[in-house]
């Protein structure tokens, strides 16, 4: 008995396509960025962070220390680049620091 050879696709590719098609992928990446904030910016900045959210491609970050807030403002373009690199697409255009 001979079997027909079928085109096969890995399940991860099917799931990724489904998530992208149903606009779920971006929401998952936003959640992942927030969860990975400490790994992206380091323990010192993370410990001063009180709130973090992503809305309309803007990352809103509340920092309790004025010194760390100013430091974050100086390196925010590098952080945006790291976040987008980690996500695999442009998920954040800018950081709003409060």
CATH of the domain at 25: 3.30.300
d(CA 83, CA 79): 6
pLDDT per residue, tens digit, the chain (98 aa), is 565 666 778 887 887 777 777 777 778 888 888 999 999 999 999 999 999 999 999 999 999 999 999 999 999 999 999 999 988 889 999 999 99
> Is 3 domain-assigned?
no
> Is 47 domain-assigned?
yes
Tokens 């790994």 belong to residue: 39
> Is 2 domain-assigned?
no
Q: What's the domain count of the chain?
A: 1
pTM beyond cutoff 0.85 = no
> Is 73 domain-assigned?
yes
- Do residues 80 and 92 touch, judged by C-beta distance below 8 A? yes
Residues spanned by the domain of 57: 11-97
> Is 60 domain-assigned?
yes
């Amino acid at each position: 008995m001979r079997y027909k050879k079928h085109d096969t696709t890995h399940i991860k590719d099917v799931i990724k396509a489904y998530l992208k098609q149903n606009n779920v992928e971006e929401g998952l990446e936003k959640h992942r960025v927030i969860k990975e904030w400490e790994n992206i910016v380091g323990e010192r900045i993370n410990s001063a962070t009180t709130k973090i959210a992503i809305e309309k491609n803007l990352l809103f970050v509340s920092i309790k220390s004025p010194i760390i807030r100013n430091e974050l403002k100086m390196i925010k373009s590098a952080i945006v680049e790291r976040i987008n690199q980690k996500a695999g697409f442009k998920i954040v255009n800018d950081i709003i620091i409060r």
